[in-house]
Amino acid sequence: MSQQKLIARGHPLDKLLRTERLPHIWCPGCGLGTLLGSFLRAVDYLVSKGVIDEKQLVVVTGIGCTGRLSAYVKLDGAHTPHGRAIPYAIGVKLGNPRLVPVVISGDGDIASIGGNHLIHAARRNMDLLVIMANNLNYALTGGQMGPTTPPGAYTTTTPRGNPERPFDVARMVASIGGNYVARWSIHYPVQLEESIKKALPRRGFRFIEVVSTCPEIFGRHVGYRTPPELYDRLKKVVRIKKPRALDDIVYDWEKEITLGVFRDEDEPGYMESICRLYSYEWCREIPEVKWARRLAK
Amino acid sequence: MPRVEFLTGNQAMAEAAIASGLRVFVGYPITPASDLFEYLSDKLPRYGGIVFQAEDEIAAINAIIGATYSGAKAMTATSGPGFSLMAESIGFAAMVEAPIVVINNMRAGPSTGIATGTGQGDIMQTRWSSHGHYGIVAFAPWSVQESYDMVIKAFDTAWRLRVPVIVLGDAVIAHTREPVEIHEPGEASVYERKKPRDPPGRFKPFKPDREDLVPPMAFYGEGYAVLAESLSHDERGYYSTRQEVYESLVKRLVEKIERSRDRIASSDAYYTTSSRVLVVAFGSLARSALALVRMLRKSGVKIGMWRPKSIWPLDEDGLVRAAEDAEKIIVMEMNLGQLYLEVSRILGPRGKTIELVPVISPQLPSHEELLSFMYKAGVKIG
């Protein structure tokens, strides 16, 4: 083997990245790179298997650290105003039902300012995959308390500790419905990748929460400043389970953050539902129907 | 072939949108725009379009922005409170140059105000609703026929310039029923996008053509990996904080509308030749104002009227021409002086006396009532 071949010429996923925009803005120890890696490997797999055409994919993000992801991915996409990734993605789907929008955004964007859009998308079983990175705080703005911040946690806006209770976002979405609801953490990139592979080519609403590490902004205020410290602290409480009831799903920074698949159904999504009422010319071409048939086999 | 129907302003706007090729309507119930939403809910799916009820107006406007990037002609309709909620994403649409059409049927504000009352208080909000500086286009109809024609013009302008276009209706026009000449679905002449001329990889989604400053538009799904970037961006759509990138972007968003001003700006003048007094009014109030002008002319007053059809940008040349023989300008509007500010800016330096007749009333005044609003304001003719 000549020495030439040993020199790395790039990453196998470079084809899905706007490499000229790298390096990214994410801090050392941030979990978002892990999330992006799992997502791109899942996309690469699904494209290689002919399940999806990368031209169909539209990656929609909101504002925040996670929001910057759409700028790095070499796919159609949008970087929308704060909280509006879900309605924008719904519009993308309505505008061309052959497309496959994927929302990837943070917990502040999805569960706080965009919370209303999230619950209504789940209620409608809208044909949409939402991946929510949960870093337990508002990081890009400097570490303020968020809807997922543990009670008692010190943040820049809770200097005496967080007096509020957090949302268990995955459990909330599971309680509303949607065809697929899962929660992983960045400690389990393979499980996350497999989950995305499963959830992307599906009909209806799919939601994956990814509990992520933010040592630089969140960790520093709660005593886990270095990447390994926060990584290990979080790993102590994440637990993969197969919950039998919603009450088995726990989101507690002190005791347990339940991981796993919380909902796995295959009910017709919104687009199919309107096709039962009106014979649109695109009804035979929506990818979700094709996927549902594949899943039934 | 055009046919004549007897429709309300809202129905006419809906018909115009269908004639323009509307594919996606996203609405949220609000008076006085709900009946437009209801009319389309029944009719649009028959022509292959989708009507979607959003959870709020914020979702509605963001959904139609997304839909335009997918290649669909898309619209929403609302009134003051909903329009206020849409404010942030009016700027988003301007920034990513999404060709959306927003109907805002003005009602009596502020806040919830009088939901069933009419108003004209959203003139400045239409121009400046979103933060930062950007360009916007707005038309204001005074009849059902104009409601129809202006929605078609709104789609044409939105797609020609890649700008958000607002149609400023009001509660009176929305619910007035008049004969209107309408086209068959898809029959209206509306500009189709400029397609990318460069292949994927070379195409820059925000690189404007030199002539009109409008970038060709790539749709999602065409393989261009186009990013609708709400941040300050360069011609590739990549975030940039560089002074020259930011400056050229913001200036272009405004300048591209200025360049097409002649195509957009329009107005009508009535009895302006050798009139010493010029009334300025728009929308439904201009109907009462014109009746008042006619009444006064019968009693020998040399009075005329100028009515802007485009509000943003205003037909400034048209106003200057109409005001040539006038010494006194009387601006009548259903607010405490918004169009008045623009008229003063344009005609003030020309030595005209400019007075305001504010009409704060949930109902459209008759021409006699308008006269009493004039007295109340202390405005005298001559």
- Residues of chain B found within 8 Å of residue A74, distances taken between Cβ atoms: 225
- Residues of chain B found within 8 Å of residue A92, distances taken between Cβ atoms: 66-67, 69-70, 220
Strand (E) or helix (H) holding A297: none
Q: How far apart are CA B320 and CA B311, in angstroms?
A: 15
* Predicted confidence (pLDDT) per residue in B211-241, tens digit: 999 999 999 999 999 999 999 999 999 999 9
Polymer length of chain B: 382
Q: How far apart are CA A147 and CA B312, in angstroms?
A: 41
Any CB–CB contact under 8 A between A69 and chain B? no
* Predicted confidence (pLDDT) per residue in B363-377, tens digit: 999 999 999 999 999
Closest partner residue to B50 (CB to CB) among A87, A89, A274 is A274
pLDDT-derived band at A8, boundaries 50, 70, 90 = low
pLDDT of A2 higher than 70: no
Q: How far is CA B308 from CA B125, B257, B299, B339, B360, in A?
A: 17, 17, 26, 10, 20
Strand (E) or helix (H) holding A259: strand A256-264
How distant is the Cα of B59 from the closest Cα of chain A, in angstroms?
Answer: 5
Rounded to two decimals, the ipTM of the complex is 0.97
pLDDT-derived band at A5, boundaries 50, 70, 90 = low
Q: Is there a contact between A27 and A230 (Cβ–Cβ < 8 Å)?
A: no
Residue A264, pLDDT score: 96
Nearest-CA neighbor of B16 among B154, B113, B214?
Answer: B154
Q: Do A78 and B23 touch (CB under 8 A)?
A: no
Which is higher by pLDDT, A294 or B177? B177
Interval A223-240 mean pLDDT: 98
How distant is the Cα of A258 from the closest Cα of chain B, in angstroms?
Answer: 30
Q: Do B58 and A280 touch (CB under 8 A)?
A: no
- Give φ, ψ of A153 to 5 degrees: -70, 140
Residue B369, pLDDT score: 98
Torsion of the alpha carbons at B15, B20, B22 and B27, rounded to the nearest 10: -50
Which is higher by pLDDT, A45 or A290? A45
Place of tokens 């159904």: A265
* Predicted confidence (pLDDT) per residue in A62-115, tens digit: 999 999 999 999 999 999 999 999 999 999 999 999 999 999 999 999 999 999
Q: Is there a contact between B257 and B294 (Cβ–Cβ < 8 Å)?
A: no
pLDDT of A196 higher than 60: yes
- Residues of chain B found within 8 Å of residue A205, distances taken between Cβ atoms: none
Compute the 3-state secondary structure of chain B and give helix, strand, coil in percent, each to the nearest 5.
40, 20, 40
Structure tokens at B353: 């006396």
The sign of the dihedral angle between the CA atoms of B125, B130, B134, B137 is negative
Strand (E) or helix (H) holding B177: strand B177-182
Closest partner residue to A70 (CB to CB) among B60, B89, B227 is B227
* Predicted confidence (pLDDT) per residue in B110-127, tens digit: 999 999 999 999 999 999
Q: Please determine whether the domains at B1-264 and B268-376 fall in the same fold group of CATH.
A: yes
Residue B253, pLDDT score: 98
Any CB–CB contact under 8 A between A15 and chain B? no
Q: How far apart are CA B82 and CA B179, in angstroms?
A: 29
Interval A161-167 mean pLDDT: 98
pLDDT of B149 higher than 80: yes
Any CB–CB contact under 8 A between A99 and chain B? yes
Cβ-Cβ contacts under 8 Å for B210 (sequence gap 6 or more): none
Residue B184, pLDDT score: 85
Q: How far apart are CA A54 and CA A58, in angstroms?
A: 9
Interval A288-297 mean pLDDT: 87
Torsion of the alpha carbons at A179, A184, A190 and A195, rounded to the nearest 10: 0
Q: Is B102 helix (H, G, I), strand (E, B) or coil?
A: strand
- Give φ, ψ of B243 to 5 degrees: -55, -45
pLDDT-derived band at A293, boundaries 50, 70, 90 = confident
- Contacts across the A-B interface (CB distance below 8 Å): 135
How distant is the Cα of A286 from the closest Cα of chain B, in angstroms?
Answer: 13
Interval B336-343 mean pLDDT: 98
Residue B356, pLDDT score: 98
Residue A6, pLDDT score: 63
Round the average pLDDT of chain B to a whole number and report it. Answer: 97
Indicate the fold that domain B268-376 takes in CATH.
Rossmann fold (3.40.50)
Any CB–CB contact under 8 A between A14 and chain B? no
For residue A128, list its beta bridge partners: A205
What residue segments make up the domains of chain B, in order of their start?
Answer: 1-264, 268-376
pLDDT of B343 higher than 60: yes
Torsion of the alpha carbons at A20, A26, A32 and A33, rounded to the nearest 10: 50
Look up the CATH superfamily of B1-264.
Answer: Thiamin diphosphate (ThDP)-binding fold, Pyr/PP domains (3.40.50.970)
How distant is the Cα of A130 from the closest Cα of chain B, in angstroms?
Answer: 16
Interval B166-173 mean pLDDT: 98
Q: Chain-centre distance of CA A196, in angstroms?
A: 9
Q: Is there a contact between B142 and B118 (Cβ–Cβ < 8 Å)?
A: no
pLDDT of A3 higher than 60: no
Residue B21, pLDDT score: 95
How distant is the Cα of B57 from the closest Cα of chain A, in angstroms?
Answer: 10
Residue A9, pLDDT score: 74
Residue A94, pLDDT score: 98
Structural domains of chain A, with CATH: 29-296 (3.40.50.970)
Q: Do A79 and B230 touch (CB under 8 A)?
A: yes
Structure tokens at A5: 């071949």
Cis status, amide bond into A23, omega within 30 of 0? yes
